[in-house]
């Protein structure tokens, strides 16, 4: 899945990563435009993308019929450049699937879930990502900082990717921000409120204690906030952000049927959804419009007609 990225101001060496769904690119170029500049207008900066160097074969058979369908071993030194957490294209004779690598020991890899096909040592294993480096001068120019009062990204990176003999045009989007709010949640924070979650983690998520579940829920939270015109980069309360995420993670598990003892799946899903939505409404969407007393003298501080982010 693609995400709108937050590029951090005055930090050099940052990259945007594009996964090419069509296969392994041979080359790629990119141009960055401000949101109100056309594709044939003046670019903020341009460059040549770097194609993932992984392009190898399997050392031995993998997938259906093997001792564990999550295991695959690459030909000698093929694993050197493999990045854990990245997806690679495994292909042989028309059979193909994306492999999300979750563990690596030399050339021995573990996929996030069982492979669905049978592969021989002739199968190819390729990276299809293109990385684009953010210009060092541009990222340090404060005039380029994004307006984070809206969730719409201020910049787009236009890629021209040569793949399978054709040129594929696509975009990634990003903001330039002072700092990314991000989150600080681990499964332990959820388990403190939703017991035994670590022990009850789905089998494909045990090796990282559900980190991918959390990351996916974080993407969902950002999208839900964007629906209310809130840019997550503008948030300035880490506790409430993390608590919101905890509730979203719990909702994710409820959506997959997990629930406490003595609660039905439907009942708990309804509860978790309402609890999550009410938390957003109470903390992120609505503020009091009634004048509130301040200090001990009885005077009031009049509030504006509504909060900045209001329904």
Partner 1 sequence: MATTTKAAIRTAMLGVIDGLTSSIESRTKFIPWREDDDIRPWAEKNKAACTRRASVRFVGSTEPPAVNDTLVQEVRDVAEIVICYPKGGRFGRNGNHDLDDVIEVDATLIESRIGPPGYATFAGLVAPCTVIREQADEVESGTGCVFSVIRYRVDYFRSLS
Least spacing, CB of residue 259 vs partner 1, in Å: 6
Residue choice 201, 217, 225, 280 for contact with partner 1 (CB under 8 A): 201
User: Per CB under 8 A, does 68 bind partner 1?
Assistant: yes
User: Per CB under 8 A, does 60 bind partner 1?
Assistant: no
**Closer CB to partner 1, residue 96 or residue 229?**
96
Residue 59 contacts residue 120 (beta carbons within 8 Å): no
**Closer CB to partner 1, residue 126 or residue 259?**
259
**Closer CB to partner 1, residue 64 or residue 120?**
64
User: Per CB under 8 A, does 258 bind partner 1?
Assistant: yes
Residue 12 contacts residue 137 (beta carbons within 8 Å): no
**Closer CB to partner 1, residue 179 or residue 202?**
202
Residue 70 contacts residue 98 (beta carbons within 8 Å): no
**Closer CB to partner 1, residue 1 or residue 261?**
261
User: Per CB under 8 A, does 116 bind partner 1?
Assistant: yes
* Binders of partner 1 in range 127-146 (CB under 8 A): none
Counted residue by residue, the chain has a size of 311
User: Per CB under 8 A, does 203 bind partner 1?
Assistant: yes
Name the one range near partner 1 by CB under 8 A: 61-69, 140-148, 162-170, 221-229.
61-69
User: Per CB under 8 A, does 256 bind partner 1?
Assistant: yes
Name the one range near partner 1 by CB under 8 A: 128-136, 183-191, 259-267, 302-310.
259-267
**Closer CB to partner 1, residue 70 or residue 126?**
70
Residue choice 67, 143, 288, 299 for contact with partner 1 (CB under 8 A): 67
**Closer CB to partner 1, residue 70 or residue 129?**
70
Q: What is the 3-state secondary structure (H, E, C) of the chain?
A: CCCCEEEECCCCCCEEEEECCCCCCCEEEEEEEECCCCCCCCCCEEEECEECCCEEEECCCEECCCCCCCEEEECCCCCCCCCCCCEEEEEECCEEEEEEEEEEECCEEEECCCCCCEECCCCEEEECEEEEECCHHHHCCHHHCCCCCCCCCCEEEEEEEEECCEEEEEEEEEEEECCCCCCCCCHHHHHCCCCCCCCCCCHHHCCCCCHHHHHHHHHHHHHHHHCCCCCHHHCCCHHHHHHHHHHHHHHHHHHCCCCCCCCCHHHHHHHHHHHHHHHHHHHHHCCCCCCEECCCCCCEECCCCCCCCCC
Least spacing, CB of residue 152 vs partner 1, in Å: 36
Residue 32 contacts residue 83 (beta carbons within 8 Å): no
**Closer CB to partner 1, residue 255 or residue 281?**
255
The site that binds partner 1 (CB under 8 A) totals a number of residues, namely: 22
Tokens of 246: 């905890």
List the one residue out of 4, 12, 6, 5 whose CA is nearest residue 139. 12
User: Per CB under 8 A, does 202 bind partner 1?
Assistant: yes
User: Per CB under 8 A, does 200 bind partner 1?
Assistant: yes
Name the one range near partner 1 by CB under 8 A: 25-33, 193-201, 224-232, 303-311.
193-201
Q: Which residues bind partner 1 (CB under 8 A)?
A: 64, 67-71, 110, 114, 116, 196, 199-204, 256-259, 261, 265
């Amino acid at each position: 899945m693609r995400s709108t990225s937050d590029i951090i101001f005055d930090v050099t060496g940052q990259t945007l990563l594009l996964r090419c769904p069509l296969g392994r690119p041979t080359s790629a170029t990119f141009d960055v435009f401000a949101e109100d500049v056309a594709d044939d207008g003046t670019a903020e900066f341009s460059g040549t993308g770097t194609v993932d160097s992984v392009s190898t074969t399997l050392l031995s058979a993998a997938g259906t019929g093997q001792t564990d369908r999550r295991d695959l071993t690459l030909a000698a030194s093929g694993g050197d450049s493999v990045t854990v957490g990245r997806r690679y294209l495994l292909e042989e004779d028309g059979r193909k699937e994306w492999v999300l690598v979750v563990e690596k020991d030399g050339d021995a890899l573990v996929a996030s879930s069982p492979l669905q096909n049978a592969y021989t040592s002739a199968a190819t294993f390729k990276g299809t990502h293109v990385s684009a480096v953010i210009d060092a001068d541009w990222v340090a120019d404060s005039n380029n900082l994004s307006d984070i009062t809206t969730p719409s990204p201020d910049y787009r990176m236009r890629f021209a990717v040569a793949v399978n003999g054709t040129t594929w045009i696509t975009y990634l989007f990003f903001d330039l921000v002072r700092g990314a709010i991000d989150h600080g949640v681990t499964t332990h924070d959820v388990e403190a409120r939703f017991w035994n979650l670590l022990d009850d983690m789905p089998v494909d998520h045990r090796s990282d204690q559900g980190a991918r579940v959390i990351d996916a829920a974080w993407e969902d939270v950002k999208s839900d906030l964007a629906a209310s015109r809130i840019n997550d980069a503008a948030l300035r309360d880490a506790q409430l952000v993390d608590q919101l995420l905890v509730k979203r993670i719990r909702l994710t598990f409820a959506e997959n049927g997990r629930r406490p003892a003595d609660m039905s799946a439907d009942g708990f899903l309804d509860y978790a959804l309402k609890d999550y939505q009410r938390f957003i409404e109470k903390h992120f969407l609505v503020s009091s419009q009634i004048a509130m007393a301040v200090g001990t003298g009885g005077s009031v501080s009049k509030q504006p007609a509504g909060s900045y982010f209001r329904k």
